[in-house]
Amino acid sequence: MPPLIRPATPEDLPLILDFIRGLAAYEKLLPEVTATEAKLRATLFGPQPAAECVLAFAGDTPAGFAVFFTSYSTFLAQPGLYLEDLFVPPGLRGRGIGKALLRHLARLAAQRGCGRLEWAVLDWNQPAIDFYESLGAKRMADWTTCRLSGAALARHALPPGD
């Protein structure tokens, strides 16, 4: 039986946070998680949601999640979907849950007139890379992710002259 996938609701915030922590632990980044239910409520379900979340269930068992948001391609002059996080707990992997989540997002992208669905994967996460490539995803070898955060972001956010 394929997993049930549905949009998350505010009542799902504890589950979403558990999945975020599970993903962070798998990626060896748990100390970087500062998300709280309150912050997630504001950014996922507030007046101007920054992202969307869907949940997967195998029967009654929470089986995974995907968090995504709208991006934009100037080259295509079309919106896109950017998959921020996809996570299936280790004990539930290999059952088609991750594939079902990606297919759900691909359908959403098509329904919304998006030109692409894209995401980043850690270069050491070979099982995820193999999974994505098995679905037809292409790695963008010529691109490197850049990020301003923390003190560097704050420094550059100062008004001119400060």
Strands of 52-145 (E only): list them: 52-58, 61-73, 78-87, 117-119
Q: At what angle do helices 37-45 and 13-26 cross, to 10 degrees?
A: 110
- Helix-then-strand count for the chain, H and E: 5, 5
Smallest CA-to-CA distance from 61 within 134, 4, 114, 107 is with 4
Active site residues: 132
User: How far, in whole angstroms, is CA 99 from its chain's centroid?
Assistant: 14
Question: Would you say the C-alpha torsion 40, 42, 45, 49 has a positive or negative sign?
Answer: negative
Contact by Cβ (8 Å): 7, 54: yes
